Amino acid sequence: MSWDLVLAVVRLIVAVLIAYAIVFVAALVNIVFERRVLGFLQDRLGPNRTGWQGILQSVADAFKMMGKEDFAPTAADKTMFTLAPIMVMIGAVAIQVVIPYTKGWTDQNLNVGLIYIVAITSFTVLSILLGGWASHNKYSLVGALRTAAQMVSYELPMILALLVVAMAAGSLSLNAVVAAQGSYRWFVFTMPFTFLLFFIASVAELNRGPFDLPESESELVAGYGTEYSGMRFGMFFLNEYAGMTIMSMVTVTLFLGGWQGPFANALVIHGVALVPLVWFLVKVYALVFVLVWIRLSVPRLQVDQLMGFAWKVLIPLGLVNILATAAVLLWAPHWKLAMAVYSWLALIAFVGLFDTLLRWRLKRQRRRVAVLT
């Protein structure tokens, strides 16, 4: 047994603990953040009693949850019922391996980071499906199946958008993606249409409003988490909120230039630049704010609209987007400029035509229903 091996194992354990800590802290921060922002947007106060401006509110809630009875229904499959909340965090924790937090700081510069992100998020689907089944409750099962269907469906437009990023960056490594967005040529500026497709798909992957059907209280009690209580419920809940930060980290890395910003080399300790870390966090929390904002502003979709939107709108658009970007990359002389022009035009066309097409479709549908009845 050499010291190197021991050191490697210790390093691994510490890294995993840090990743878990980031997930938990992010979740607790996001819960307070969302409640306060919702309060601000709705012209009320929100939680402001526990600690300064209520920042300790979710810490108190977490302790309350841990103190609750560890309860499982009699009919539940005990092993799987326990396994599901443990497994649900794997995605959020493991994804951090490839995220470049700041200049010169990634755990592993995987050359297939983009595929890794897609692969590792599938654990969430698996554990939600498992949790819903193990609860032995109809609401849980239907909720879990809905969630899985939604997450699997929206994974496809997300992958299609990721492919465009990979094509533009010329690599699947996240560090290379960040490097390709140097000197403020962020992909959100050069390909806003792809960003929009990715962003919509990522909100749906997070199961957040307007795509929060998995726990639509009005139809499914609480979806897959109906039978869960105490800390087991807490794990699902924390994962969902940590997901906001984690997904925003991915989005920032892919489209908003990652850690890049002014004064990148101002403060460097042991090869780790600190100022870019601040830029990274600022961008991430700007996106988290947008997520909260969207949740408040847009009403929830119906389940049939949800699937239709993924399969009939986002996936065809994603395929066309890939085709067009590939054509631009291959044949256009100044492909960066041409791609930006194409992408902005596509974005304007999408946003401009969306409402009109939706109205036209609705009118046609109503006419058909009128004929049938």
Q: Which residues bind other proteins (CB under 8 A)?
A: 8, 77, 79-80, 83, 110-112, 115-116, 118-123, 125-126, 129-130, 133-134, 136, 141, 144-145, 148-149, 152, 155, 172
For the record, the structure tokens of 126 come out as: 């698996």
Cα 56 to the center of its chain, rounded Å: 25
Give the shortest CB-144-to-other proteins separation in angstroms.
8
Beta bridge partners of 268: 273
Tell me whether residue 53 or residue 111 sits nearer to other proteins (CB atom). 111
Give the shortest CB-66-to-other proteins separation in angstroms.
27
Q: Is 230 left (phi over 0), alpha (psi -120 to 50) or beta?
A: left
Give the shortest CB-169-to-other proteins separation in angstroms.
13
Give the shortest CB-325-to-other proteins separation in angstroms.
17
Give the shortest CB-8-to-other proteins separation in angstroms.
6
Which helix (H) or strand (E) segment holds residue 16: the answer is helix 3-41
Give the shortest CB-12-to-other proteins separation in angstroms.
8
- The answer to whether residues 246 and 92 touch, using CB atoms and an 8 Å cutoff, is yes
- Residue 303 has, within 13 A of its CA and on its CB side, a CA count of 15
* 210 preceded by a cis bond (ω within 30 of 0): yes
Tell me whether residue 115 or residue 274 sits nearer to other proteins (CB atom). 115
CA distance 153 to 307: 7
Amino acid residing at 245:
T
- The answer to whether residues 298 and 209 touch, using CB atoms and an 8 Å cutoff, is yes
For the record, the structure tokens of 229 come out as: 């209580």
Tell me whether residue 136 or residue 300 sits nearer to other proteins (CB atom). 136
Amino acid residing at 109:
N
- Residue 172 has, within 13 A of its CA and on its CB side, a CA count of 11
Beta bridge partners of 272: 269
- The answer to whether residues 85 and 228 touch, using CB atoms and an 8 Å cutoff, is yes
Give the shortest CB-346-to-other proteins separation in angstroms.
26
CA distance 198 to 196: 5
Residue 75: other Cβ atoms inside 10 A: 10
Give the shortest CB-148-to-other proteins separation in angstroms.
6
110-124 burial, b at 16+ Cβ within 10 Å, e below that, comes to: beebbebbeebbebb
Tell me whether residue 32 or residue 162 sits nearer to other proteins (CB atom). 162
Give the shortest CB-278-to-other proteins separation in angstroms.
31
Decide: helix, strand or coil at residue 109.
coil
Give the shortest CB-171-to-other proteins separation in angstroms.
8
Cα 249 to the center of its chain, rounded Å: 9
